[in-house]
């Protein structure tokens, strides 16, 4: 996924992960985004491509 910001194929799990991440960050504002991303990757059993998508687009240093 070089520079591709589109959701990976079969992105229902990613959508669920994003909803969960949003709630988690709202409820725990001091929690690091990287920690929430890692928890989402495990909780929603994301593929390596889906994990990369989250890290590239939602990490604290994401544009």
What are 1-25's pLDDT values in tens digits?
455 566 565 679 999 999 999 999 9
What does the block give as tokens for 7? Answer: 């959701």
- What mean pLDDT is predicted for residues 48-62? 87
- What mean pLDDT is predicted for residues 34-57? 95
Please give the pLDDT value at position 1.
43
**CB of 25 closer than 8 Å to CB of 33:** yes
Q: What angle do CA 60, 37, 16 make, to 5 degrees?
A: 120
- What mean pLDDT is predicted for residues 57-61? 84
pTM of this prediction exceeds 0.85: no
Report the percentage of the chain scoring pLDDT > 90: 73
């Amino acid at each position: 996924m070089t520079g591709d910001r589109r959701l990976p194929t079969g992105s229902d799990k990613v959508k669920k992960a994003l909803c969960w991440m949003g709630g988690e960050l709202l409820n725990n504002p001091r929690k690091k985004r990287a920690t929430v991303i890692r928890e989402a990757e495990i909780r929603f059993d994301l593929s390596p491509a889906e994990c990369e998508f989250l890290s590239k687009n939602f990490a604290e240093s994401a544009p």
